[in-house]
Structure 1
């Protein structure tokens, strides 16, 4: 057997850089100095004879090889941790782990209730949630970091299976005291006279809207641009403008001061679905959570009624 020239600490260093989003945050999480963390990464790269990270002065990203290897590194660390927990009385501490990647709107909308039911049936199984943007969710599932994911992109990926769950229409988010809040529906062209808050061009939702409105004769121009839907809604709630957002991103009922008005001409929607790697068998616990998520969505009568309301407007 070839001599292994790295240890678990080196694998932990790599995973920490990925999960913390950079070397400084990873070093703090591991209680290491940045030079010590860098030496661990360099040692791992030398042992594997590959480059795992692309580093610039502004950001750190995984290389293609790094994206493939990080899933294996996580699997090794999880296996070691599970084995250690299996010694003596600690064997009952945890019976497994499931990682689900999801866009934030899905995490907010129905995942907490599903995870609550899963917890009741499998109290010793730990659930990790990667609640990130659509592109990160896609890469998390493709790399094996997540067992499966909830996303609205991925239908074109040859290595992934996409099971559609529900259609999520884009609606106009505005304060309840805004003049448009009383409308049954609003045309995109009518937004030209209002201050628009939009997502940044790097957002998957923004790309979807730009493509859908490419042929529109009067496209509303954004006055504010932010990176996250939560920030969009914060600006709208502060009375700084209106925004087009997925319906799932808005709170239910009267829990906020925001109204959701269907948008039309054109009506734009995204398809939310479950992603999993093609040919990969899920663990029994991951399969159980997968099925719970799939079964939870059809029961969401509010989502179906919103879809019909949007289509009829």
Structure 2
């Protein structure tokens, strides 16, 4: 009976400096351990045989062999089934953890085989890349740690061009591009707002009329990007001519200049972060009539079936729709 305890003691002594020196005599046959575990759990050879889908005679032989391997009696037959001996209780207490770890190892191997590898890229304008993209990237990398991802910030027109020529796999677009070579999914429709410093005279207004924009000191985009085109279309519909004092392509620079107090700008709601709203740095004023833009996530039709591309697009949809819901609750 001492052999079992001596074997366990030897196993502990061989574990030095984080290294385990295991020899054959220290190892329990996993199938026999599984059979023993089910007999001990159900307290019945017949029930365990049914659960394991093996003949009861084969089950008995495996348990006997396990007892021979360990030189210890593990089970005692009783009138109502079987019960554990002192040594059987020790083995049973360890068996569940051992078998769970073995099962987890197999599951990790299966997961590793399914885990995609490779590269994927995404492009978007500065507003989406500043606010939503960090969360998209963090979630994607957590779920797909073996994928190399590249994020590119560009003007709206350049974002579309990068997608159209295949330089990026996924793009977030703010203008409605019609093309059979591109697959698009609507993300959200968000308000365009006048952004002013809290102490600006217009900050107290509940809304801004489109006709009044020509009277404000405005900062507008310099490039012919999606935001500029969207703003100009909105104003052209009412014959409003804008003469901005500054043209700037950097959203952070726009906001820094607005904070100085003189200038206002027009930005999509997502371009102003929750922290900036909470700090009270800016007044966000809606337009009359309503002014919105619609975002979509897109990829080339030929890449739509790629699991990696599809996974990245799903993450973009997930984050942007959560953002849209959160903003609707705030507003």
If the length of structure 1 is used for normalisation, what is the TM-score?
0.62
Query: Does the 8 Å CA contact 2:303/2:309 hold for their aligned counterparts?
Result: no
Secondary structure of 1:213's counterpart equals: helix
1:259 alignment counterpart: 283
Equivalent position of 2:180 in the other structure: 158
Shift of 1:169: 1.6
Residues 1:214 and 2:257 aligned together: no
Would the aligned equivalents of 2:191 and 2:268 in 1 still touch at CA under 8 Å? yes
CA contact (8 A) 1:237 1:258 kept: yes
CA gap 1:224/1:288 in 2 versus in 1, 3 angstroms: same
Provide the C-alpha distance between the structure 2 equivalents of 1:213 and 1:278, rounded to a whole number of angstroms. 34
- Deviation readout 1:221-257 (Å, 9 max, x if unpaired): 3122223333322221222311111111112223572
Distance 1:227 1:108, change over 3 A: closer
Secondary structure (helix, strand or coil) at the match of 1:227 reads coil
Q: How far has the Cα of 1:104 moved from its partner?
A: 1.6
Q: 2:225 aligns to what?
A: 203
Deviation at 1:305, TM superposition (A): 4.5
Aligned to 2:165: 143
Alignment of 1:1-313 (within 5 A): 95-200=117-222, 202-252=224-274, 253-255=277-279, 257-265=281-289, 267-300=290-323, 301-305=325-329
Q: Distance in 1 between matches of 2:239 and 2:317?
A: 39
CA RMSD of aligned residues (A): 2.2
Cα distance in 1 for partners of 2:193, 2:153 equals: 22
Over 3 Å counting, the alpha-carbon distance change for 1:178 and 1:240 in structure 2 is closer
Offset of residue 298 of structure 1: 2.3
The higher radius of gyration belongs to 2
Gaps (5+ residues) in structure 2? 1-115
Q: Does the 8 A contact of 1:97 with 1:126 survive in 2?
A: yes
> Match of 1:49?
none
- CA shift for structure 1 position 282: 4.4
* Runs of 4+ displaced beyond 6 Å: none
Matched residue of 2:297: which SS? strand
For residues 215 and 125 of structure 1, what CA distance do their matches in structure 2 show? 45
Mean alpha-carbon deviation: is it higher for 99-108 or for 256-265? Answer: 256-265
Q: CA deviation at 1:289?
A: 1.7
CA contact (8 A) 1:188 1:219 kept: no
Could you tell me the TM-score, scaled by structure 2's length?
Answer: 0.59
Contact 1:237 1:257 in 2 (8 A): yes
Q: 1:214 to 1:298 in 2, by over 3 A?
A: same
SS across alignment from 1:230: helix
Give the direction of change, closer, same or farther, for the CA distance of 1:147–1:187 in structure 2 (3 Å limit). Answer: same
Assess if the C-alpha contact under 8 Å between 1:189 and 1:220 holds in 2: no
How many Å apart are 1:205 and its aligned residue?
1.3
Tell me the alpha carbon deviations over residues 180-229 of structure 1, each in whole angstroms, 9 at most, x when there is no partner.
Answer: 22222111223343311112252221122212211325444312222333
What is the SS of the residue equivalent to 2:203? helix
- Indicate if the aligned counterparts of 2:196 and 2:265 stay in contact, CA closer than 8 A: yes
TM-superposed CA distance for 1:166, in Å, is: 0.4
| Cα distance between partner residues in 2 of 1:222 and 1:262 | 19
Q: Answer yes or no: is the 8 Å Cα contact 1:166–1:273 preserved in 2.
A: yes
Q: Write the distance in 2 (CA, Å) between the matches of 1:174 and 1:107.
A: 22
